[in-house]
């Protein structure tokens, strides 16, 4: 419920049929218009019903009532949908993280594909020449990165709550397990509660960031080196006492985790105990090992990331002689695999910290001679900026949710100038279908490109997050 909404609790026994599902996984039903609405040619009131699915016949309880729509929760399911699933997580309906666990995974994928296609049609007025087959992977225990909130509830419940926030709420869900975290991390949630409760700064430890890397040495005879490396970053707003430090060391030894501390901003993150370790993920197809710090931006789903990198590079259709641009390159997730396939890759990233990490990763993989990195604010790109990058036959773009509008606009201006610097093919990785559709509109209607193909990547099962991939080819006039 949003701030300012008046809570209500109105039970409605007249059943309604659910017609659609929104991205918050709320069923959408529409009431028949009343006399006044019918006379004015208006449709009836819309009801958003939490937990309801399309095709279902349900009764409901109204929790928020407005003039044109109401919000509600299910009272009774009279006719369930054939694609209804039993949620696996005990915190489902409370935790705001996985709102689609009650929907069969195949239906989730179909819904996300429909969202992508609808946004392309309605925003860009374009249909791809080819719809790519949806990419799927592990449904559970896939999340290798997470930011857990910690809140002191000792007055009310005698404990600390550690987990994700409740749906559209500032409250932390009371959860002791999480099915999308690796099991060994999920099992740590109750143990982390006990740890934080024992600290002198129990009310000044608001956040614990989790990062899981691949085993240090999967081929080792040492069982410990065959296990995933797990780093926990504790956000300590006050200095630790000697007793606090010993509790953290004991916890690290007992649970085989690597503890980091963050006393101030993100730049203050440092390993606490043990002092050294190895956190990385690997891309075996390209013989790449990618070291990272626990607060670096990396994909949370390692298996899907491997598949995505592989598909993106195949779709680029690169040759050994090609020069390639990798925009929003981060720590080199696409840059370094590409360097195994082409003559040279230029990676461009807006953050200095990530640029530094990317250079270190290139050196770690022996690719210094085939890649170079520059720091540049890509949200301020102009035609002159693109000219300074030089000619590249292929581009790969993986922007944040804001998309790559300024780059697309700059390409439009270069197109108007008949520049020979425009790439022949662009592969665009998107985490927001609406900004992707906006950029499709610019590239295809103003910059001389066609949308050759597009499809979804189910990077975050059971959530409303829609990751997608699109391929643009320059039209030959």
Dist CA 361 CA 365 (whole Å)? 6
Same fold, 7-84 and 145-280: yes
DSSP three-state, residue 42: coil
Burial 141-157 (b: 16+ CB within 10 A, else e): bbbbbbebbbbbeeeee
Q: What pLDDT, on a 0 to 100 scale, did the predictor assign at position 39? A: 67
Which of 156, 427, 187, 419 has the alpha carbon at shortest distance from 314? Answer: 427
Q: What pLDDT, on a 0 to 100 scale, did the predictor assign at position 247? A: 98
Q: Kindly report, residue by residue over 274-321, the tens digit of the pLDDT.
A: 999 999 999 999 999 999 999 998 999 999 999 999 999 999 999 999
DSSP three-state, residue 321: coil
Q: Kindly report, residue by residue over 410-427, the tens digit of the pLDDT.
A: 999 999 999 999 999 999
Domain 7-84, what fold?
A: OB fold (Dihydrolipoamide Acetyltransferase, E2P) (2.40.50)
Q: What pLDDT, on a 0 to 100 scale, did the predictor assign at position 225? A: 79
Which of 309, 340, 339 has the alpha carbon at shortest distance from 325? Answer: 339
Residue 4 confidence (pLDDT) above 60? no
Q: What mean pLDDT value characterizes the chain?
A: 93
Residue 385 confidence (pLDDT) above 90? yes
Dist CA 276 CA 279 (whole Å)? 10
CATH class of the 113-137+301-474 domain in this structure: alpha beta
Please check whether residue 228 is in contact with residue 213, taking contact to mean a CB–CB distance below 8 angstroms. yes
Q: Kindly report, residue by residue over 207-254, the tens digit of the pLDDT.
A: 999 999 999 888 778 877 789 999 999 999 999 999 999 999 999 999
Q: What pLDDT, on a 0 to 100 scale, did the predictor assign at position 3? A: 44
Q: What pLDDT, on a 0 to 100 scale, did the predictor assign at position 156? A: 55
Residue 438 confidence (pLDDT) above 70? yes
Residue 111 confidence (pLDDT) above 70? yes
Name the pTM for this structure. 0.92
- The residue written with tokens 């901003």 in the block is 265
Residue 184 confidence (pLDDT) above 70? yes
| Residue 280 annotated as catalytic | no
Q: What's the rounded mean pLDDT across residues 138-167?
A: 86
Q: Kindly report, residue by residue over 309-368, the tens digit of the pLDDT.
A: 999 999 999 999 999 999 999 999 999 999 999 999 999 999 999 999 999 999 999 999
The number of residues making up the chain comes to: 477
Q: What pLDDT, on a 0 to 100 scale, did the predictor assign at position 38? A: 66
Please state which of the ranges 22-26, 109-113, 206-210 shows the lowest mean pLDDT.
22-26
Dist CA 249 CA 199 (whole Å)? 12
Contact residues for 137 (Cβ-Cβ < 8 A; gap 6+):
301, 303, 304, 307, 458, 461
Between 442 and 266, the more confident residue is: 442
Q: What pLDDT, on a 0 to 100 scale, did the predictor assign at position 35? A: 67
Q: What pLDDT, on a 0 to 100 scale, did the predictor assign at position 7? A: 67
DSSP three-state, residue 194: helix
Please check whether residue 216 is in contact with residue 225, taking contact to mean a CB–CB distance below 8 angstroms. yes
Is 2.40.50.1070 the CATH classification of the domain at 145-280? yes
Q: What pLDDT, on a 0 to 100 scale, did the predictor assign at position 216? A: 86
Q: What pLDDT, on a 0 to 100 scale, did the predictor assign at position 37? A: 62
Q: What pLDDT, on a 0 to 100 scale, did the predictor assign at position 378? A: 97
Q: What pLDDT, on a 0 to 100 scale, did the predictor assign at position 68? A: 85
Please check whether residue 225 is in contact with residue 254, taking contact to mean a CB–CB distance below 8 angstroms. no
Q: What pLDDT, on a 0 to 100 scale, did the predictor assign at position 1? A: 45
Which of 311, 390, 300, 389 has the alpha carbon at shortest distance from 348? Answer: 389
Q: What's the rounded mean pLDDT across residues 146-165?
A: 82
Task: Give the largest CA-CA distance in the chain.
Answer: 79
Please state which of the ranges 37-46, 111-120, 191-200, 351-360 shows the lowest mean pLDDT.
37-46
Marked catalytic residue, from 178, 408, 431, 444: 431
What are the domain boundaries of the chain? Answer: 7-84, 113-137+301-474, 145-280
Residue 472 confidence (pLDDT) above 90? yes
């Amino acid at each position: 419920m949003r701030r300012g909404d008046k809570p209500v609790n109105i039970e409605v026994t007249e059943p309604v049929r659910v017609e659609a599902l929104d991205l918050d996984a709320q069923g959408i039903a529409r009431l028949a218009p009343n006399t006044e609405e019918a006379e004015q040619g208006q449709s009836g009131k819309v009801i958003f019903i939490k937990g309801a699915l399309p095709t279902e016949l349900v009764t409901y309880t109204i929790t928020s009532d407005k003039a044109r729509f109401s919000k509600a929760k299910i009272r009774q399911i009279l006719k369930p949908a054939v694609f209804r699933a039993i949620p696996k997580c005990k915190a489902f309906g409370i935790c705001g993280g996985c709102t689609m666990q009650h929907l069969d995974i195949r239906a989730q994928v179909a819904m996300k594909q429909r969202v992508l296609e609808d946004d392309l049609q309605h925003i860009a007025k374009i249909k791809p020449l080819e719809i790519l087959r949806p990419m799927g992977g592990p449904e559970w225990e896939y999340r290798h990165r997470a930011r857990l909130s910690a809140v002191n509830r000792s007055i009310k419940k005698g404990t600390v709550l550690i987990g994700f926030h409740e749906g559209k709420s500032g409250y932390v869900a009371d959860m002791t397990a999480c099915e999308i975290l690796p099991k060994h991390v999920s099992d740590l949630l109750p143990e982390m509660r006990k740890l934080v409760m024992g600290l002198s700064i129990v009310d000044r430890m608001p956040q614990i960031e989790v990062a899981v890397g691949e085993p240090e040495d999967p081929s080792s005879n040492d069982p410990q080196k065959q296990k995933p490396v797990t780093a926990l970053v504790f956000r300590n707003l006050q200095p630790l006492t000697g007793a606090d430090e010993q509790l953290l060391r004991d916890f690290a030894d007992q649970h085989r985790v690597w503890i980091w501390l963050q006393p101030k901003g993100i730049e203050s993150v440092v390993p606490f105990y043990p002092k050294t370790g190895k956190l990385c993920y690997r891309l075996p197809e390209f013989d790449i090992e990618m070291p990272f710090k626990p607060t670096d931006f990396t994909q949370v789903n390692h298996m899907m990331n491997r598949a995505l990198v592989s598909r993106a590079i195949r779709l680029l259709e690169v040759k050994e002689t090609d020069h390639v641009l990798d925009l929003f390159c981060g720590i080199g997730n696409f840059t370094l695999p590409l360097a195994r396939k082409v003559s040279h890759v230029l990676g461009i990233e807006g953050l200095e910290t990530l640029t530094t990490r990317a250079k270190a990763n290139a050196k770690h993989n022996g690719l210094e001679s085939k890649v170079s990195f520059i720091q540049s604010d890509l949200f301020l790109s102009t035609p002159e900026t693109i000219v300074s990058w030089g000619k590249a036959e292929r581009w790969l773009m993986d922007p944040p949710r804001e998309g790559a509008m300024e780059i697309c606009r700059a390409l439009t201006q270069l197109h108007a100038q008949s520049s020979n610097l425009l790439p022949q093919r662009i592969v665009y990785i998107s985490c927001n279908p609406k900004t992707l559709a906006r950029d499709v509109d610019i590239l295809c209607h103003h910059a001389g490109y066609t949308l050759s193909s597009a499809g979804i990547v189910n990077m975050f099962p059971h959530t409303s997050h829609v990751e997608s991939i699109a391929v643009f080819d320059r039209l030959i006039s």
